[in-house]
Amino acid sequence: MKENFVKIFYIVLGGAIVVYISPYIIRFLLGIISIDVGMGGNGTFDKTVDSSIRVMALVGLIVLAIYMCIKELDSGYEVKEQGTSRMGKPKDLRELCGNDGVVLSKRVRLSLKKSFEHVAVIGPTGCGKSSSFIIPNILDLDGRVSVVVSDPKGEIHDICKPYLEGLGYNVMKINPFDTTIRYNPLLIAADNTEIKEIAQLILMNGNKSYEVGNNNSGGSSEWLSMAEPLLVAALMFVKAKGLNKDIPEAMKIVLYKDLDQLDAIFKQYQPAYQEFMMFAQSKESSRTMSSIKVVLASALKLFNDDKISNFVKTPFSKRIIDGKECYVPQLNLLFHPKVLRDRPTALFVCVPERKSIFAMPLMSVFYSQLLNKSMDFAEGDDYVSVLFFLDEFANIGTLPGFANLVATSRSRRLGVAIALQGMEQLKANYGEEVAFNILNNMKTKMFYSGLTGTSADYVSQLAGFTTIKSESVTKQENGNSTSVSEQRRELITPDEVRRLDEKKVLIIAHNKNVVIDDRNDYYKERRYDKKWKH
């Protein structure tokens, strides 16, 4: 509506100019055809005629302006009633943009501040999320922020590593099936509350891994609840009193010790014994104990794998101290999330896609600690900002506090970009209500072509409604009758979402208009050539 009133202003301005010069125009025309009018019969106007012409022209102009304003107000009222959504242009997002944040498309890059309000990227498998979103973002880093990148094939690491090292980044690659850097979640846990969170994540995602991997139902929530205190007790004990202080050591305790042996072990550490007593209260018979151990064995089977067991173990070196042979933990070989806040670091997490379901109990713990510790270590002013680029986010597993984390992490200078194949994945992991809560807390959303079902419906719903003019023709005996009416329709229908140009992405950010822009494929953009061609 604002644009239309601007047009009316220019029309009125032009009309005013015409009013002023109208006597001269008429005088010129009449002079050409040699018609004598006016007081002296000599082809000229006197001042009275000039004034009369100007008054008539001015009255006509005023009537026209009033008519156009009334029509515009009426039109604006109807548009508001029917739907006001419209397609925007990249420049409509300029309030959100900067040169230091997440890159969405060729012409749209968020500011770092707006990047802390998170991004959700949804596109079917094979649509190019890595090549047009994740890799360009890594190649556009300036050396001032840390990044965590889920990189199933390790390709992003191989492409971007030389460029990042040239910027001075601490580049790290973690692959639990090909150990170079190790990770012990028990040593990272600061207290027993965090130990309980680890146990919850292992059981929840271990059960989910079993269900997905075997296309069958796992243990019921009741059995999981009964098993949790026993696992918590074992984890607490090995952290406080254990030799290796790792998950495989705790697993051996809960699976291979009988009830009396467990009682004797946990009595050595009171917090662990309290958890064990909670478990003992729920155990009704030896048959119940057996069923609980089956649930634990299913959730912990991942840690029976030699590679995974080695990955979560603390490496020790033999040393002579005061004349005695001692084993000292090599902490320099262990990953700790604090490094992300201490110096600009690029962490690539490489879990092969075919093993992602199997690794879910471990990787859910890993990412949960990464996110939560990145929040904890954001103290003072002298810490590095962190951006997460989590491709195939659904394969990480369920992170119980994730919805709350994305709602509160902005003030800690932490931004998360998740990539999904469809809305259905998020609903399967979190349930419909929490899934929508997560997406609502991610202020920027980007979509690729080819989406169907729930995802396409979601995009159409977010885009809202617009008003279109519909013309109908009625055939009558004395001729056709034409009527024009305004109707409401989706700004973009689910089918139009599916048929979006493959070279485009659709962006819905904050409270701005929907924008469709060109994809930012790194291998097609000359500005990236020197950064990755090596």
Residues 4-39 have pLDDT tens digits of 555 656 566 666 666 566 666 666 666 654 444 444
212 has a pLDDT exceeding 80:
no
Domain count, the chain: 3
Does residue 322 form part of some domain? no
Apex 61 CA angle, 55 and 65, nearest 5: 145
Residue 43 pLDDT class (50, 70, 90 cuts) = very low
Of the listed ranges 46-55, 97-106, 484-493, the one predicted with least confidence = 46-55
Task: Render the burial of 36-69: b for 16+ CB within 10 Å, e for the rest.
Answer: eeeeeeeeebeeebbeebeeebbeebeeebeebe
Give the pLDDT of residue 69.
66
Same domain, 356 and 386: yes
Same domain, 527 and 385: yes
Containing domain of residue 203, as a range? 185-300
152 has a pLDDT exceeding 80:
yes
Same domain, 147 and 26: no
Q: Which of 51, 82, 113 is the last residue of a domain?
A: 82
How far from each other are the two terminal CA atoms of the chain, in whole angstroms? 53
Same domain, 253 and 277: yes
**More confidently predicted of 48 and 385:** 385
Q: Which of 54, 82, 110 is the last residue of a domain?
A: 82
Task: Tell me the sheet residues that pair with 418.
Answer: 120, 390
Torsion of CA 362, 366, 371, 374, to 10 degrees: 160
Q: Which of 66, 82, 98 is the last residue of a domain?
A: 82
Same domain, 295 and 176: no
The per-residue pLDDT for range 273-328, each reduced to its tens digit, is 999 999 888 766 667 788 888 889 988 999 999 999 999 988 877 787 777 777 77
Q: In this structure, are residues 118 and 441 in contact, taking their beta carbons and an 8 Å threshold?
A: yes
Does residue 409 form part of some domain? yes
The pTM assigned to this predicted structure is 0.81
Does residue 329 form part of some domain? no
Give the pLDDT of residue 20.
61
Same domain, 406 and 287: no
Same domain, 101 and 225: no
The per-residue pLDDT for range 162-197, each reduced to its tens digit, is 999 999 999 999 999 987 889 999 999 999 999 999
Does residue 306 form part of some domain? no
Same domain, 357 and 385: yes
Same domain, 375 and 515: yes
Same domain, 101 and 75: no
Residue 2 pLDDT class (50, 70, 90 cuts) = low
Does residue 325 form part of some domain? no
